[in-house]
Structure formats: structure tokens, C-alpha cells
Amino acid sequence: MAGERRLCATEDLVDGGAGVRFLVEIGGRAVSAFVVRFEGLAHGYLNQCAHVPMELDWQEGQFFESSGLYLMCATHGAVYAPDSGLCVGGPCRGASLSKLRVDERDGNVYWLPESPYEAPAG
């Protein structure tokens, strides 16, 4: 598909495990994003808490809290449903992470850029 970006091999993502970070561009500005696996499916989001736009991971690629059932902002403790990005606890309850379109096929995970998110040059 035109403009898509390969992020990782399918087996690099484990349910409730480490995510893979990548960059997207919004209005000419590079912003961190990530993809994780939950209940067998890959989900991609901007790496920005809905409460305050800070990166979520507490160590690079670590987005899930200890049970592996929720994504959690390391700074403010906001908790998100991994399949929808909806904030289900903490200071931004009811808000959502910005979801990105991802696809899995042929043993790989891809990001499919859609406006306003673009692939950075290079």
C-alpha cells in the first residue's frame, strides 16, 4: 500500500508485552508513536497522554502496566484500554489516545498513514 511503513515483524509484538516505537509527522513536527499487541491484535497510537501530551512509556517500549491489561502513562498514571485507547482511569477519564491505522500481513506489522499523520521523510 502506498505510503505504508513497516514497523516490525509480527512476532516482535507479544500480548501485553513491549511495544515498538516509531515517528509520525504532524504539521511538519515529528511525534513519537507506538504499536502494541492486545488480545492478538496490533494497535497503534500517538505516544502522548490524553491528559498532558507527554510520552506514556516508563521505559522505552514499556506501555502496559504490570497486569498487561491496560496501557498506562508513566507520568500521571492515566490508564487506557489497549484496544480503543479510551482512558478508563486517572486524570483524563473519558478522553482517548490518538489511534493510528495499523495492518498485519505477511508476517509484518505496518503503519498506514492517514491525515493529519504523515510519514516523516527518509
Strand, coil or helix: 49: coil
C-alpha distances (whole Å) from 95 to each of 35, 41, 104 are: 19, 22, 27
User: Residue 55 pLDDT more than 90?
Assistant: yes
For residue 15, the cross-strand partners are: 37
Grid cell at residue 93: 477519564
pTM for the model: 0.94
| CATH class, 5-118 region | mainly beta
Query: Which residues lie closer than 8 Å to 101 by C-beta, 6 or more apart?
Result: 44, 111, 112, 113, 114
122 — pLDDT class (breaks 50, 70, 90)? low
Residue 53 confidence (pLDDT) above 90: no
For residue 1, pLDDT over 60 is answered with: no
The string of pLDDT tens digits covering residues 68-101 is: 999 999 988 899 999 999 999 988 888 999 999 9
